[in-house]
C-alpha cells in the first residue's frame, strides 16, 4: 500500500536521491546534504509543534510503499513564507502610454518586483519519481496537503500559493534568466538556482533591477516564457487549477514561471472533504477511489483506496483492517476523506 507520512531522519538517502532526480529549477530540494538534513530536522520540529497560528513551520511529507519501504515521492507545505527571508516575485501589470494629440495609444506590460505574498502559506516540493507516475499517486501527493490543511486550518494562512517551475531547457538554461544575466548578473541560471536552493538569496536584493521592467524591452525568447510552465510541471498546474487556483499576474524572478493562488476555504478539496468516525469491516468497498487521512499531526498518515463505504445518514465510514492499519486508526476514531477520482 502507498502511504503518505511525515518525513524522518532515516529518509535522508531517499530524499537526496529525489533531489538529484528532480533536476534544475526545483529549488525547494537542493542537492546539498546540509540543507536536506536541515529540511528534515525542521519538518520533525514542525510536526511535533503545538502551533495555533502559521509561523516558520515546514511540513515535509514522503510517499512510501509500505510493502517495499521505498520512498516514491515528496510533497510539502510552508506555513507562512517570507517571514525570515524575503519572498520576491515580479507582478505583471499594464502601463498605458496615450497621447490624444498624436493619436497614439500603446499598452505595455510591466514587471514590478514585490513581496506581496509575505505570510501566505505555500504548497511546494511535489515530486513523484518517474517510475511511479502512472495511477493516482501524483494526485494523492497534490491533494493530501489540502486534507491536512482542512483538518488543521489554524496552522495555515487564508491565502495559499504555489510557485510553478518556469521554462528551462535540458541543461537548465532559462530564456528569461539569460536576459537578466546579460544585463544585471554574471552567473548562469543553474548557479542562481543552486544559490536559491541553499538559502543564499542576498544577491537578489543586491543585483536585481530596482525599477519596473518594460517587458517589450526583453528578448523575444524571454517575453515568450513569462507566465509559462515547464513541460514537466503542466500536470501539477492542471491539478491545482481544478482545485480553484488562479494565476493573478505573479511570476518567478528567475524563470518567470507563474505563481497561482487560492483562499484556503475556497480550495475544492478543502470544501468537499468530509470528516467522520470510522468503523472497521472486512466487507467495505466502493466503486470510486478516495484519498483518506487520519486527524493526527505528528503521526499523520494518508492513503488512497476503494476499500471503504460511507453511510451518509450516520456519517460513518467503514474501512477494511488493512486501511485502518495503514492510517493508524482504531474503531470509533475519526478520519477525513475525499473522492480522488
Question: What are the residues whose beta carbons fall under 8 Å from the beta carbon of 92, sequence distance 6 or more?
Answer: 109, 110, 111, 215, 226, 227, 249, 250, 251
Q: From CA 221, how far away is CA 27, in angstroms rounded?
A: 23
Residue 67 annotated as catalytic: no
Distance set, CA 14 to CA 47, 74, 341 (Å): 20, 10, 29
**Which among 230, 247, 285, 295 is annotated as catalytic?**
230
Place of cell 530564456: 175
Q: Which helix (H) or strand (E) holds 111?
A: strand 104-114
* Residues 106, 145 contacting (CB under 8 angstroms): no
Distance CA 25, CA 194 (A): 9
Do residues 113 and 90 make contact, with C-beta atoms less than 8 angstroms apart?
A: yes
Q: Is 286 helix (H, G, I), strand (E, B) or coil?
A: coil
* Nearest partner of 84 among 232, 245, 224, 199, judged by Cα: 199
- The C-alpha cell 484556503 sits at 264
Tell me which residues are annotated as active site: 230
Amino acid at each position: 500500500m502507498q502511504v503518505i507520512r511525515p518525513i524522518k531522519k532515516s529518509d535522508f538517502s531517499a530524499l537526496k536521491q529525489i533531489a538529484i532526480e528532480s533536476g534544475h529549477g526545483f529549488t525547494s530540494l537542493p542537492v546539498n546534504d546540509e540543507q536536506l538534513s536541515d529540511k528534515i530536522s525542521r519538518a520533525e520540529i514542525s510536526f511535533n509543534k503545538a502551533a495555533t497560528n502559521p509561523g516558520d513551520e515546514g511540513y515535509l511529507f514522503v510517499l512510501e510503499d509500505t510493502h517495499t519501504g521505498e520512498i516514491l515521492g515528496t510533497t510539502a507545505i510552508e506555513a507562512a513564507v517570507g517571514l525570515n527571508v524575503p519572498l520576491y516575485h515580479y507582478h505583471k501589470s499594464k502601463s498605458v502610454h496615450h497621447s490624444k494629440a498624436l493619436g497614439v495609444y500603446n499598452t505595455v506590460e510591466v514587471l514590478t518586483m514585490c513581496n506581496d505574498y509575505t505570510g501566505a502559506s505555500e504548497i511546494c516540493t511535489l515530486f513523484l519519481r518517474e517510475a511511479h507516475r502512472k495511477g493516482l499517486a501524483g494526485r494523492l501527493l497534490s491533494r493530501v496537503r489540502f486534507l491536512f490543511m482542512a483538518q488543521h486550518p489554524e496552522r495555515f494562512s487564508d491565502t495559499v500559493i504555489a510557485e510553478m517551475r518556469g521554462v528551462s531547457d535540458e541543461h537548465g538554461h532559462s530564456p528569461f534568466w539569460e536576459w537578466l544575466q546579460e544585463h544585471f548578473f554574471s552567473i548562469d541560471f543553474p548557479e542562481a538556482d543552486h544559490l536559491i536552493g541553499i538559502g543564499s538569496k542576498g544577491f537578489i536584493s543586491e543585483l536585481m533591477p530596482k525599477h519596473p521592467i518594460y517587458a517589450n524591452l526583453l528578448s523575444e525568447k524571454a517575453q515568450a516564457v513569462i507566465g509559462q510552465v515547464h513541460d514537466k510541471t503542466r500536470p501539477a498546474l492542471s491539478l491545482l487549477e481544478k482545485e480553484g487556483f488562479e494565476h493573478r499576474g505573479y511570476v518567478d524572478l528567475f524563470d518567470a514561471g507563474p505563481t497561482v493562488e487560492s483562499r484556503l476555504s475556497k480550495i475544492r478539496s478543502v470544501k468537499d472533504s468530509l470528516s467522520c468516525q470510522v468503523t472497521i469491516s472486512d466487507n467495505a468497498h466502493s466503486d470510486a477511489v478516495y484519498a483518506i487521512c487520519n486527524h493526527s499531526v505528528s503521526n499523520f498518515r494518508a492513503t488512497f483506496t476503494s476499500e471503504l463505504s460511507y453511510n451518509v445518514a450516520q456519517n460513518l465510514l467503514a474501512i477494511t483492517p488493512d486501511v485502518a492499519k495503514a492510517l493508524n486508526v482504531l474503531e470509533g476514531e475519526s478520519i477525513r476523506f475525499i473522492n480522488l477520482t
